[in-house]
Amino acid sequence: MDCIFCKIVAGQIPATLLGETEHSIAFKDISPRQPIHILVVPKTHHSNVADLAFEDPTGLVDLVQLGSKLAAEYSTGSFRLSFNTGIEAGQSVFHAHGHITSNTPKNQ
């Protein structure tokens, strides 16, 4: 499988890791769209968040919890957790992942 997120999970491609659990990892987006832009990714491959929800609901809860923890750590508490599912919705990497974004970093 030629999945960039699977390669990041496996340590084959470097990323700035911000958090990790048994089921998920989180790292800085390489093309941030806001001052805070963190990607939260399940360690197992699922094409999108809908597949993740049906195939591994525990993994989805873990991903949301890790994302929420990092949002609290890096933002003032105002943040967005979003998922794109399908090319028409803007999904460009077909491995489930959530975007934690915020314009309000904690240190401001």
Which residues are tagged catalytic? 97
Cα 68 to Cα 8: distance, rounded to the nearest angstrom: 21
Burial readout 19-49 (b: 16 or more C-beta within 10 A, e: otherwise): bebebbbbbebeeeebebbbbbbbbebbebb
Cα 83 to Cα 47: distance, rounded to the nearest angstrom: 12
Q: How many CB atoms lie within 10 A of CB 78?
A: 10
